[in-house]
């Protein structure tokens, strides 16, 4: 089995600007709280925060590390360095903007919602993702705001990296050379 990695020609900055416009339209008068899911969702949330400006959100960026809330950690194992979640605000009766990099099966978002509700009961949660995979949904979860929808084969994965800026990589796990 050969693993191939390629960088996609997707213009991440254009996607972020379009997402910021959608967020302004949907949440502009609500002063939402911004929450990024570790790791890629935090990168996207920080970029959106810069585009929307500090006064758009009602508090500093909150971060979720959903490692303990995943339903598959017994199968795939726990990451050796699990950073704690950090929500520097109360979520009760507040509008939240939950941000992740890629939605595929929906399990990461389900875990994030479980953790958020352990902190309290928000008035609403709006999900924003940079990339929404069109196939592979296992739970009835979809983004309210998405930068782009993409279709990949079952042998492909898409990953956001942050080496001198945000980049998307499509990793193909299949075939032989």
Extents of the domains making up the chain? 11-69+90-150
- Mean pLDDT in the chain? 89
Mean local confidence (pLDDT), 38-59: 95
Note the pLDDT of residue 54.
Answer: 83
Residue 74 has pLDDT above 80, yes or no: no
Residue 2 has pLDDT above 70, yes or no: no
Q: Give pLDDT tens digits for 116-160.
A: 999 999 999 999 999 999 999 999 999 999 999 999 998 899 999
Residue 62 has pLDDT above 50, yes or no: yes
CATH topology of domain 11-69+90-150: Rossmann fold (3.40.50)
pTM for the model? 0.90
How many residues are there in the chain?
177
H-helix segments, the chain? 12-27, 40-52, 73-76, 107-119
Note the pLDDT of residue 139.
Answer: 94
Q: What is the DSSP string of 15-45?
A: HHHHHHHHHHHHHTTT-PEEEEETTHHHHHH
Give me the half-sphere count of Cα atoms (radius 13 Å) on the Cβ side of residue 35. Answer: 30
């Amino acid at each position: 089995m050969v693993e191939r990695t390629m960088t996609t020609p997707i213009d991440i900055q254009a996607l972020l600007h379009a997402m910021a416009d959608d967020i302004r339209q949907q949440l502009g008068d609500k002063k939402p709280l911004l929450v990024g899911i570790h790791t890629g969702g935090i990168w996207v949330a920080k970029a959106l925060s810069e585009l929307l400006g500090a006064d758009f959100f009602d508090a500093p960026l909150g971060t979720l590390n959903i490692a303990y809330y995943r339903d598959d950690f017994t199968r795939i194992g726990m990451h050796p360095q699990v950073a704690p979640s950090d929500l520097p605000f109360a979520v009760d009766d507040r509008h939240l903007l939950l941000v992740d990099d890629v939605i595929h099966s929906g399990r990461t978002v389900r875990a994030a919602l479980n953790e958020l509700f352990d902190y309290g009961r928000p008035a609403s949660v709006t999900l924003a993702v940079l990339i929404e995979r069109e196939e592979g949904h296992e739970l009835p979860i979809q983004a309210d705001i998405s930068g782009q929808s993409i279709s990949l084969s079952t042998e492909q994965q898409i990953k956001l990296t942050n080496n001198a800026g945000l980049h998307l990589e499509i990793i193909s796990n299949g075939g032989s050379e």
